[in-house]
Structure 1
Amino acid sequence: MIQLDGKQLTIADMKAILYEDEKVEIAESARAAVEQSRLAVEQIVKHKKTVYGINTGFGKFSDVKIAGEDTRLLQLHLIRSHACGVGEPFSEIISRAMVVLRLNALLKGFSGIRLEVLERLAYMVNHRIHPVIPQQGSLGASGDLAPLSHLALVLVGEGFVWQDGKSAASTEVWREHQLQPIELEAKEGLALINGTQAMTAQGVVAYSEAEKLACDSEWIAAMTIEALRGITDAFHPAVHEARGYKEQIDVATRMREWLKDSELTTEQGELRVQDAYSLRCIPQIHGASWQVLNYVKEKLEIEMNAATDNPLIFDDGKTVISGGNFHGQPIAFAMDFLKIGMAELANVSERRIERLVNPHLNDGLPPFLSSEPGLQSGAMILQYAAASLVSENKTLAHPASVDSIPSSANQEDHVSMGTIGARHAYQIIKNCRKVLAIEAICAAQAIEYRGVDYMAPKLGGKWQDVRNVVPSIKKDRMFSQDIERLADYLCP
């Protein structure tokens, strides 16, 4: 059981909740702050003090005062009107992440929402009630309004949830659980939807998969080193300590560990003086991507514990401030950076694939690793597929955060596009996984020509894992399924 208090949620906690079905509970330390914040909202309504989002309209309508008897209706109208998401829904795991992150943010006690609503969000996590949330439609400021409105609709019994992989009406689900939908009160609709949890949830899942893929890229690259009789001197610790980047040093260390006791690798001058950059510079290139991942993790863990709605309530209600913590710029930049870091892992992997299949570059291996060159094409089109994915990544890697379109009659005149960046980052990661799967297929096949018995012992186990998923290429076949199966193996 993971306790949520709005202050100390980590990526490791999120992995347990998302991938191991860990349950959550509201920390006792958070309850008092939530209740005090709610009391402040009730006092504002009682004394008819004008405060944005409690008794005013939203966005450009912020100057329109709302009568006290209409404050509940205002919140329902808000989430109905803002539920404008379109396109394919987020995966169920990202929807789950969104619920967890919104709950955690609201537990900070700055939002004026009732504890009853937050307990229902915790119930949704623990009973796997995951909203169906369309992916498209968020500008990333004022937060992820459209996606989070679809989440909020489930609470009031008007949205849809995932059930056995299909969409089901939330009213039916609440009936099955013998619970009534929530009736939102003053400020609660705004508190639920004014935040960055769509981009952050997608970012957390993207980061988790990217982290594993970065680890996998190293043993896959090490197999290619063996297949091409690469020079291990380039991984000597002195080289990397001379530059000083910790991530580069760490990659070089792990490469040495993967290649320890290999009889297929060479030393400089034995076959050639130096390797191509895609082999020789693995620590430098992969290490730089690890720098990106470390940056992204840091920003995500800050945002996961951030109050991102508006207005925020401080000093037991004495101070209510309309600010802009919903603006997704920090996560937008992080997601654009993640796109570049992962696209580069795919770029360099594709260059290694080319060296494995190109008879002018592969040090005597059969052309395209074909068992009958000419009659059988072997891995020729595997490289085509990798090149196509890499090219697609270059388009997706264009930074979403450099764009902005004004909204709400120019009241909201600069937006982050962070959710677009996060979605594109995830697509790049999926493409990168397929490229690395192709490299693993080609490297495993090439090693068969060199001699599996000569492999580094640690890598030999990985070669066997690949072979358990993708059989040896004895003759041409439909390789699409091989790529998909091995990509699935590389998933978390």
Structure 2
Amino acid sequence: MVQSAVNAEKVIAISDQSWVSIEDINSIAVGDQQVELSSDQSFIDKIKQGCEFLDKLLHEEGVIYGVTTGYGDSCTVSVPLELVEQLPVHLTRFHGCGLGEYLTVDQAIAVLAVRLTSLTKGVSGVSLNLLQLLTTLINQKIAPVIPQEGSVGASGDLTPLSYVAAVLMGERDVIYQGQQLSAKQVFAEKNIQPIKLRPKEGLAIMNGTAVMTALACDAYQRSAYLAKLTSRLTALASIALQGNAYHFDEKLFAVKPHPGQMEVAKWIRTDLQHVESPKQSDRLQDRYSIRCAPHVIGVLQDALPTFRTFIENEINSANDNPIIDAEGEHVLHGGHFYGGHIAFAMDSMKNTVANLADLVDRQLALIMDTKFNNGLPANLTGAIQERLMVNHGFKAVQIGVSAWTAEALKLTMPASVFSRSTECHNQDKVSMGTIAARDCLRVLELTEQVVAAAVLAIHQALALRARKGELHLSSLSEPLQAMYKDVFSYFELVEEDRPLEQVLRQTVEYIKQQRWELYS
């Protein structure tokens, strides 16, 4: 097997003692970091000991679930020793029935990284050769083609992970250098030797939570950025609406001390504190979408540490079945494949993120409407007086924002409560964690679209204030000035109506790339 060269400065060493973070998985997924297996002899010995223990049990004709028995409800079916080696191959093949869209290349690599991390705990009975092959696929960015749909989240992500197991055997397809090719062809070109799955290895690869957890890593980082970006946009919206900066006063938030909520208020307060007092609204209190923004965004900000704990514990856990305790010579049958923690994190996260979409949607509704926007033109058109009757500015964008928000809110029903008994009532209570993760990513995508519209619309509003002499851009804090300058480096003020689709799509990509540095 050819191991890819690894830059020591951009390598994550994986072993039974390592702790892999959400950021590590995301960095590996996009190719910013590579992985290597620990060379520590105790780690290597632990991996080998697991295989030797299974071999010993097989030699003694011990009964091992998924090794000398069928799977799931078929656990009562004994498999004769002469067929034991065929069992993992059949497991991968009959699970090759996934449908729906495919995971992206980055998502598939994240899946490999999460599964590698779990298997290196040394209690899954897999060989060092299998771990090395996973490492090679990650470092050379050879991504299995994995359908998104077909997992109920217990016994783990069986169907999508079957595509990983099959690729390790040189079967099915991969994406390599932008092309979809057979794994067999790519392995031959790269001088990579596929493996013959040992007893228990098919189950070890497939019987875990790697897909839902990999998607959760992506969701976490995107949601954390949106918490900051919507805080920044709230500050800008407050300025555009000539709002009351004292709604974010430190003493006010000290008496309701949710840490995340206080942090959001501090971010907004920091953005606003350098603004020279422009003309203020006649209202003593701004409407809730401005005044209560820290209370909305703060729920997500306060939940992020819990989400991190759930996701990172799952990354760094052994979550297949059975667990192989080679040192104590035990085979422990349990349910660690159950993705309940990820399901809860994703169901909760999509709720808090959709609330950001709803918040920003309401902020934009205020800014567009002359009944509420304190003198801004209707729909934020930048047209001159003589052209007002034929120009509509951001009218349709606001309709789009309403549609995207409604769809995001519709998806907030928790997936985990829709457990379905399946597989002859063996899997009679399942997590739905993978569906929850996919739902969360869709809610994130919709919310990023809402926020992209807000980035453009609110900056349009600021430019219109500046054009009327109601706002001196030099009075903005340096971060706000920098963002204003950057947005108008690719976005031109909407004076005459024009299609905005491409600049909206561009802004969505900038949000995903986390283009703007936001708070430390």
Scaled to the shorter chain, the TM-score interval is over 0.9
Q: Does 1:415 align with 2:430?
A: yes
Counterpart position of 2:479: 458
Counterpart position of 2:452: 437
**Equivalent pair of 1:79/1:152 in contact (CA under 8 Å):** yes
Paired with 1:161 and 1:126, the residues of 2 have a C-alpha distance of: 14
Paired with 1:353 and 1:317, the residues of 2 have a C-alpha distance of: 62
Of 308, 314, 323, the match for 1:312? 323
Q: Does 1:353 align with 2:364?
A: yes
Paired with 2:228 and 2:30, the residues of 1 have a C-alpha distance of: 18
**Equivalent pair of 1:262/1:457 in contact (CA under 8 Å):** no
Paired with 2:277 and 2:28, the residues of 1 have a C-alpha distance of: 42
Paired with 1:265 and 1:153, the residues of 2 have a C-alpha distance of: 64
How does 1:324-403 map onto structure 2 within 5 Å? 324-370=335-381, 371=383, 372-403=387-418
The alpha carbon displacement at 1:264 in A equals: 5.4
Counterpart position of 2:82: 69
Counterpart position of 1:292: 303
Paired with 1:264 and 1:125, the residues of 2 have a C-alpha distance of: 54
Q: Does 1:38 align with 2:51?
A: yes
Alignment-mate amino acid for residue 9 of structure 1: V
Which segment is superposed worse, 155-164 or 197-206?
155-164
TM-score by length of 2: 0.92
* RMSD, matched Cα: 1.4
Paired with 2:277 and 2:219, the residues of 1 have a C-alpha distance of: 35
The alpha carbon displacement at 1:405 in A equals: 1.3
The alpha carbon displacement at 1:282 in A equals: 1.5
Q: Does 1:127 align with 2:148?
A: no
Paired with 2:49 and 2:277, the residues of 1 have a C-alpha distance of: 67
Paired with 2:428 and 2:61, the residues of 1 have a C-alpha distance of: 30
Counterpart position of 2:103: 90
The alpha carbon displacement at 1:454 in A equals: 4.1
Of 502, 509, 517, the match for 1:481? 502
Paired with 1:461 and 1:37, the residues of 2 have a C-alpha distance of: 56
Paired with 1:3 and 1:172, the residues of 2 have a C-alpha distance of: 29
Paired with 1:225 and 1:32, the residues of 2 have a C-alpha distance of: 61
**Equivalent pair of 1:335/1:425 in contact (CA under 8 Å):** yes
**Equivalent pair of 2:23/2:217 in contact (CA under 8 Å):** no
Structure 1 residues 14 and 145 mapped into 2: Cα distance closer, same or farther (>3 Å)? same
Paired with 1:435 and 1:148, the residues of 2 have a C-alpha distance of: 33
Which segment is superposed worse, 215-224 or 394-403?
215-224
Counterpart position of 1:193: 206
SS of residue in 2 equivalent to 1:74:
helix
Paired with 1:350 and 1:367, the residues of 2 have a C-alpha distance of: 16
Counterpart position of 2:13: 3
Counterpart position of 1:248: 261
Paired with 2:176 and 2:336, the residues of 1 have a C-alpha distance of: 33
Paired with 2:238 and 2:491, the residues of 1 have a C-alpha distance of: 20
Question: Which ranges in structure 1 are unaligned for 5 or more consecutive residues?
Answer: none
Structure 1 residues 154 and 432 mapped into 2: Cα distance closer, same or farther (>3 Å)? same
Alignment-mate amino acid for residue 70 of structure 2: G
Paired with 1:333 and 1:5, the residues of 2 have a C-alpha distance of: 28
**Equivalent pair of 1:223/1:443 in contact (CA under 8 Å):** yes
SS of residue in 1 equivalent to 2:407:
helix
The alpha carbon displacement at 1:136 in A equals: 0.4
SS of residue in 2 equivalent to 1:374:
helix
**Equivalent pair of 2:323/2:331 in contact (CA under 8 Å):** yes
Per-residue CA deviations over 1:459-489 (Å, capped at 9, x if unaligned) read: 1111111112321112101111121111111
Of 50, 60, 73, the match for 1:60? 73
Per-residue CA deviations over 1:325-378 (Å, capped at 9, x if unaligned) read: 001111111100010010001100000000110110100000111124331111
**Equivalent pair of 1:311/1:322 in contact (CA under 8 Å):** yes
**Equivalent pair of 2:98/2:160 in contact (CA under 8 Å):** yes
TM-score by length of 1: 0.97
The alpha carbon displacement at 1:60 in A equals: 1.2
Alignment-mate amino acid for residue 340 of structure 1: N
Paired with 2:310 and 2:388, the residues of 1 have a C-alpha distance of: 50
Counterpart position of 1:209: 222
Of 190, 197, 202, the match for 1:177? 190
SS of residue in 1 equivalent to 2:324:
strand
Alignment-mate amino acid for residue 163 of structure 1: Y
Q: Does 1:425 align with 2:440?
A: yes
SS of residue in 2 equivalent to 1:87:
strand
Paired with 1:43 and 1:346, the residues of 2 have a C-alpha distance of: 57
SS of residue in 1 equivalent to 2:351:
helix
Q: Does 1:49 align with 2:62?
A: yes
Paired with 1:339 and 1:30, the residues of 2 have a C-alpha distance of: 38
Q: Does 1:470 align with 2:491?
A: yes
Structure 1 residues 154 and 264 mapped into 2: Cα distance closer, same or farther (>3 Å)? farther
Counterpart position of 1:113: 126
Which segment is superposed worse, 400-409 or 161-170?
161-170
Which segment is superposed worse, 316-325 or 431-440?
316-325
SS of residue in 2 equivalent to 1:57:
coil
Of 133, 142, 149, the match for 1:136? 149
Paired with 1:219 and 1:197, the residues of 2 have a C-alpha distance of: 34
Counterpart position of 2:516: none
Alignment-mate amino acid for residue 502 of structure 2: Q
Q: Does 1:79 align with 2:100?
A: no
Counterpart position of 1:228: 241
The alpha carbon displacement at 1:20 in A equals: 4.7
Per-residue CA deviations over 1:202-239 (Å, capped at 9, x if unaligned) read: 11111112212222222222111111111110111111
Paired with 2:85 and 2:69, the residues of 1 have a C-alpha distance of: 12
Paired with 1:191 and 1:185, the residues of 2 have a C-alpha distance of: 10
